[in-house]
C-alpha cells in the first residue's frame, strides 16, 4: 500500500525556507501544500518554482490547520506566534523550528504540548548528541561564535550599543554574557546558543560573540567539562546566501526531514 505523502507547510519563504521547499519538492514522502510569509512577493516567487500542483499561499493559522508537518524558517517572533496557536496541538502534528532562539522564552508552552512533536535541528553546531547525553553532569559550558563583522551589524545589541563594526580592523569580542541577553541582542544570529542550551539545559551557559572583519566562516567553538571529562568541538561553516545563516544549518534541517522517512536513524 502506498503511504500518503506528509502534507507540509513552509512558514518563512526566504533563503532557508526556499531551499527546504525545493528539496522537498522532489521527495515523494512529502507534499508541500502551503507557503506562508509576511512578504507576499517572496512567497509568490517561491511558489513559481513549483511545477504542476503548486502550494497555496495561506496565513500562519491556516498552515497549522491544514498540514501534518510545519517548518518554521522565519524569525523568533513567529516561533512564539506558532506556539500560541490553537491549531498547534489538536492532533499529532510535527513542527520543525529553525529559529530556536524563539523557544527560549517559551519553554513552559512547549512542556504543555500533548500531541505535537517538536524537532530542532542541530544547525551549525557539532557535538549536540554528546552534550545531550551528559546533560545533568555538566560543570561548565562555553560557546564562542565568530562571524564576519558585517553580518552582525544590524543586531539589536550592536545597534543599541552603537558599535561601529564597519571601521573594525581586527577581530573583537563584542558580547560576553548569558543566554537570555545573547538571544535578545542577537535574535537572528545566535540560534546556535539556544540549541546548545536546549540540548544541555545548563543554565550557566557562557556565550562570547566575536566580530571579525576578515572572517570567511561562521565559526562555533564549544567547550564542555564535568566529571565525564571534556568535550570540545569547532565548526567553521561557510555562510549561505544569507550571511546570517550557515549553509550547514540548512543541511541539518534537511537531514532531520530525511530522517522522518528512514527506518535506521543515527544519533538522537
Residue 38's Cβ-side half-sphere holds a number of Cα atoms within 13 Å equal to: 6
The Cβ of residue 10 has, within 10 Å, a number of other Cβ atoms equal to 28
- According to DSSP, the β-strands at 30-36 and 94-97 are unpaired
DSSP assignment of 202-228 equals -TT-EEEEEEETT--SEEEEEEEEETT
Is the separation of the CB atoms in 182 and 248 below 8 Å?
Answer: no
For the annotated catalytic residues, the residue numbers are 220
Amino acid at each position: 500500500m502506498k503511504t500518503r505523502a506528509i502534507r507540509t507547510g513552509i512558514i518563512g519563504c526566504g533563503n532557508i525556507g526556499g531551499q527546504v521547499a525545493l528539496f522537498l519538492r522532489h521527495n515523494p514522502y512529502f507534499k508541500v501544500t502551503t507557503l506562508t510569509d509576511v512578504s507576499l512577493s517572496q512567497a509568490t516567487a517561491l511558489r513559481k518554482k513549483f511545477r504542476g500542483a503548486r502550494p497555496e499561499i495561506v496565513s500562519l493559522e491556516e498552515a497549522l490547520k491544514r498540514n501534518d508537518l510545519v517548518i518554521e524558517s522565519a524569525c523568533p517572533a513567529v516561533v512564539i506566534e506558532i506556539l500560541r496557536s490553537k491549531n498547534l496541538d489538536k492532533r499529532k502534528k510535527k513542527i520543525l523550528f529553525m529559529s530556536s532562539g524563539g523557544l527560549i522564552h517559551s519553554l513552559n508552552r512547549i512542556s504543555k504540548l500533548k500531541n505535537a512533536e517538536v524537532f530542532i535541528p542541530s544547525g551549525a553546531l557539532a557535538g549536540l548528541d554528546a552534550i545531550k547525553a551528559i546533560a545533568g553532569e555538566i560543570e561548565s559550558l562555553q560557546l564562542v561564535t565568530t562571524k564576519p563583522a558585517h553580518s552582525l551589524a544590524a543586531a539589536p545589541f550592536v545597534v543599541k550599543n552603537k558599535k561601529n563594526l564597519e571601521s573594525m580592523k581586527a577581530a573583537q569580542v563584542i558580547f560576553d554574557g548569558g543566554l537570555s541577553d545573547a538571544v535578545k541582542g542577537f535574535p537572528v544570529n545566535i540560534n546556535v546558543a539556544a540549541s546548545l542550551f536546549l540540548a544541555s539545559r545548563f543554565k550557566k551557559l557562557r556565550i562570547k560573540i566575536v566580530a571579525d572583519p576578515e572572517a570567511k566562516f561562521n565559526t562555533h567553538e564549544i567547550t564542555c567539562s564535568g566529571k565525564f571529562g571534556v568535550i570540545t568541538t569547532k565548526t567553521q561553516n561557510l555562510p549561505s546566501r544569507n550571511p546570517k545563516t550557515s549553509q550547514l544549518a540548512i543541511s541539518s534541517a534537511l537531514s532531520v526531514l530525511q530522517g522522518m522517512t528512514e527506518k535506521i536513524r543515527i544519533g538522537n
